[in-house]
Amino acid sequence: MADWLRDFDAEALRDWARGLGVDTFVGSSGRVFPTDLKAAPLLRGWVRGLREQGVRFHVLHRWRGFDATGALRFDTPEGERVIRAHATVLAMGGGSWPELGSDGAWVAPLAAVGADIAPLQPANCGFDVGWSEHFAQRFAGAPVKPVRLAMAGPGSTLNWRQGECVATATGLEGSLVYALSSGLRERIRRDGEATLLMDLAPGRDAGRLQRDLSRPRNGRSLGEHLRRTAGIEGVKAGLLREVLDKPTLEDPARLAAAIKQLPVRLIRPRPIAEAISSAGGVRLEALDAQLMLRERPGLFCAGEMLDWEAPTGGYLLTACFASGRRAGLGAVEWIARSR
């Protein structure tokens, strides 16, 4: 992937968009965005430019694989159509967002001709916790912010990230959870579950929290005491009640420690159809440097159908563009060599 990005990095992407009349900016995360935060003008400019260069678009064609001679089979409104191409670039997306076409239907026909494909899995996704009915009904949709998250595991070093997430009817989702989703998913696959640590008070250390929580309650409820002394209320207080037992809630030292590292057990990732993107796909080892399938000369693959994943959509799109350029140039070179 580093080679793709050296050839076509974020600045090259911005120059290309500018050539289509779309200005961009670099956000605080380092990702590139259209200035008006809309993708449609870029897409319209791109399609218009391609048409002017002689590219023909054939819509309502669904690729069904290969015939016995290796030609491409398509279902069309007029019936099946067979295309014998000098070179083919497949850029068919992953397995998420099936309602928009990325349904992973390409896996079976590619596997049938010997392509080495890693199973598609959800990436940048939420996770199920299995809340109580009370918590789910009261807090589903509530944002948890500010918060720090880390994945619990062997060793003493925790890679904390700060931001926000959202409690759902079944668990947790949101940008901060997505950033950790790859490791969490693999931990669940290996161990059957994963523990997500939540720091519900990022601005306070455990010692200060313990001192504040040790103040006399003077008849106040635990919820009011948490609000006044620790700034913990709403969904954060609900999380504490959901996860901790009563003795821990009543012990200032243990409660303070839990506020800083609340262990939330994740039992499964959400289905791939709900994920922002997907992992798995055509293994890079099955492709040459130009992204041509070693077992299928003249057939190139690009984008999210390849076996890699990126945190959040912006980085994902940049690498998809870079891989598409690499595969397209590879197809041009292949045709030149084959003539």
Count the neighbouring beta carbons within 10 Å of the beta carbon of residue 18. 11
Among 247, 269, 291, the domain boundary falls at 269
Q: Judging by DSSP bridges, how do beta strands 79-83 and 127-128 pair with one another?
A: unpaired
Amino acid identity, position 318? T
Nearest to 135 by CA among 122, 147, 144, 145: 144
- Does 141 lie in the same domain as 45? no
Kindly tell me the sign of the dihedral angle through the C-alpha atoms of 46, 48, 51, 57: positive
pTM, full prediction: 0.89
* Domain containing residue 330: CATH number: 3.50.50.60
Among 269, 300, 321, the domain boundary falls at 269
Among 242, 269, 296, the domain boundary falls at 269
* Sequential pLDDT tens for the chain (339 residues): 999 999 999 899 999 999 999 999 988 877 788 999 998 999 999 999 999 999 999 999 999 999 999 999 999 999 999 999 999 999 999 999 898 888 999 999 999 999 999 999 999 999 999 999 999 999 999 999 999 999 998 876 899 999 999 999 999 999 999 999 999 999 999 999 999 999 999 989 999 999 999 999 989 999 999 999 999 999 999 999 999 999 999 999 999 999 999 999 999 999 999 999 999 999 999 999 999 999 999 999 999 999 998 877 678 888 999 999 999 999 999 999 988
- Does 88 lie in the same domain as 74? yes
Q: What angle do CA 303, 41, 301 make, to 5 degrees?
A: 15
**What gap in Å lies between CA 106 and CA 119, rounded to an integer?**
12
Domain that holds residue 285: 2-123+274-338
- Does 285 lie in the same domain as 240? no
